[in-house]
Structure 1
């Protein structure tokens, strides 16, 4: 019997734990008004709104999706109200290095007299709220809304590999394999450079698995096999990589059987 494949590479519990394994900051991590360009990013501080997001996670696991969605929206709105208004650009970062990258990539010095209104880097909890909102909407089969939510998370944290990979997952559901591959490749790059040590291998593996899945869909079994084996170097017990390698072996056996007839 041929192994039945799925677009879901990780169970919900793993995704939720990944969301909260990120280093966050409780106040603006950096702001263009507080230092000369490029501004210096502050060190992480204790988190804010994590209790609410823990409750979102609990509600999701209990199957109370509508309640979870309402609470996730409340956390999102609290950040939007506090930090978005009047600013040209806002970011949500997990680390000083990530925050610094965003400020550097703005590519310009603050306009004199308007620094406080132009840009800032804020807690990653802001992005996590959008991230979990996207999960909830996906579970509710509201895929266009789920994509909007994850795109909002990616806009806040373009170098967050977890957000980027989740966007890739939703693009996969649309069968847009080329765009999905691009998102997963960006997630790989960001995981290697910016993901916190505690979740780097997990986020890297997810990005790699996404790329390999696309290659299988494009019938590049050799390329997919190579990437899945990279996943096993990160985690020798990776169940998805193992299952996909079995699937590839089955496909090759079918091809050889067909060629021999």
Structure 2
């Protein structure tokens, strides 16, 4: 009973975090591991459990989905899905020890991009315009990361788009939610086919994530952009510290 309640509450918080700023898997994944699910299976289960909440949030945000850095939504979605398939297959082939060591460094890159992105963008905008090939290539890599782990992939997308396009985080949030959901959609299909989901632990987390995603998305539409950015930076920094501690201490 305690485990069920814990997983429901973890899903609730994670779903709300994903809708607001991303990084929800850093609540759901430790919760699954704490009840005895192995790390790689826990990661696949976390992705599956948070997926319905992501769909809910994407539906709330649907009117705000827009082009990114001058590139249309459809080609961005296509490369995100392709990357998500590649990343989810790669996860299933990766040893847990390698998986644990890589994550903190990927998160550190994401956090650094979020902090420095707006400043770098001011100088870059006067010198270059991002080409479609650059945007799509970066998005494919982000799709791979999303399918592979998914933790803070939304933060990384916001950082990359902010750096290339100079738009504020709040205006990019609906597209971020849609692309994260697209990468997760193909990943969960791969995980289900591979038998990598811990169903007993997954179900209460799904229920919590659905509620959290709905509430978080509606809240995110009303919060000012500086608050959204502040939440994003706090989540990014906190999760980076947590995973460095987990991997090395």
TM score, norm. by length of structure 2: 0.28
TM score, norm. by length of structure 1: 0.27
Q: Which has the higher helix share?
A: 2
Which structure has the larger Rg? Answer: 1
Bigger relative CO (Cα 8 Å, ≥ 6 apart): 2
Q: Which has the higher strand share?
A: 1
